[in-house]
Amino acid sequence: MKKWILSSVLVLLIAALAACGGSKEESADKGEKAEGLLSDGKLIVGVTAGEHEEIMEQVKELAAKQDLEIDIKTFSDYPIVNEALEQGDLDLNVFQHEPYLNEQKKDRGYDIVPVGNTITTPMGVYSNKIKDIKDLKKGAKLGLPNDPTNGGRSLLLFEKAGLIKLKEGVGETPSVKDIEENKNDYEFVELEAAQIPRQLDELDAAAINSNYAIESGLVPTKDAIFIEDKDSPWVNIVAARAENKDDEAIKKFLSVYQSDEIKQFIEETYKGSVIPGW
């Protein structure tokens, strides 16, 4: 009887140890799968509405054929997209140029880096009141984005159009305080970039980012009364957390985005309003 009891106890102990061993092995498997961005089988990519979202839909479709699943998250405003990436809600984002990212990093301490180029979206000046930028009257109200990088980009565009003159050495991010010459006493109205198209009737003209222009039904190459050159240095980027910059999933994503198929889609769809930047 004692021998039977002892044998039973040994069997139970062995079974318990086996179960524990199985749990550890299972946990190890889960830990191994958690390495890299594709642990859950997909990349979560943040974009802004407009051309970035439209292009990403094509990238998603093409990536699926290469066993790369992309989950697209669309945002309406710039500032929260980097915050979502920093907090881990996104794996990548595609919506900004590097000067904007650098400004955000300086202000908010983000550990986010560019990992590849996407597109260039020439900024344009638009108006519902005039057809030629030379027809702007003295004291006209000019709208521009209120963030430092896009605001500075707008002022450089106004200068190139001959509306103002900026101080020497202001770099890529001048502010309205850096305007040295404003002969026609233009009034500069700083607004959230996404709001400017909706405020265009209240302004005489405004500098608008192409993604917001396109989203509001404007065609940059047709409707802008002045537009950046096609060799604009403001190329957009793919951004990732620094810890993931060399992840194989990101490399695969970039190879899909920068493919001939996506380049052809961009050129045929936007006809110069959006330009491949790679």
Q: What is the pLDDT along the chain (278 residues), one digit of tens a residue?
A: 434 444 443 434 334 333 333 332 333 233 333 346 655 668 999 999 999 999 999 999 999 999 999 999 999 988 899 999 999 999 999 999 998 999 999 999 999 999 999 999 899 999 999 999 999 999 999 999 999 989 999 999 999 999 999 999 998 889 999 999 999 999 999 999 999 999 999 999 999 999 899 889 999 989 999 999 866 778 999 999 999 999 999 999 999 999 999 999 999 999 888 999 99
pLDDT of residue 36: 61
- The number of CA neighbours under 13 Å toward the Cβ of 20 is 6
Residue 2: count of CB within 10 angstroms of its CB: 6
pLDDT of residue 121: 87
Distance, CA of 35 to CA of 40 (rounded, Å) = 10
pLDDT of residue 39: 54
pLDDT of residue 271: 86
From the list 101, 43, 51, 105, the residue with the least C-alpha distance to 73 is: 43
- Token pair, residue 171, equals 């770099």
Distance, CA of 188 to CA of 177 (rounded, Å) = 11
C-beta of residue 55 within 8 angstroms of C-beta of residue 262? yes
pLDDT of residue 46: 98
pLDDT of residue 196: 98
- Long-range contact list for 267-274, CB < 8 A, 24+ apart? 269/54, 270/51, 270/214, 271/221, 272/221, 272/230, 273/51, 273/121, 273/122, 273/210, 273/214, 273/219, 273/220, 273/221, 274/51, 274/55, 274/119, 274/120, 274/121, 274/210, 274/214
Distance, CA of 140 to CA of 78 (rounded, Å) = 27
Distance, CA of 83 to CA of 61 (rounded, Å) = 26
From the list 90, 91, 112, 92, the residue with the least C-alpha distance to 101 is: 112
Phi and psi at 165, nearest 5°, equal -130, 130
Q: How deeply is 71 buried, as exposed, middle or buried, from its count of CB atoms within 10 A (0-12, 13-18, 19+)? A: middle
pLDDT of residue 38: 59
Do the strands 42-48 and 226-227 form a parallel or antiparallel pair, or are they unpaired? unpaired
Global pTM reads 0.71
Amino acid symbol at 193: A
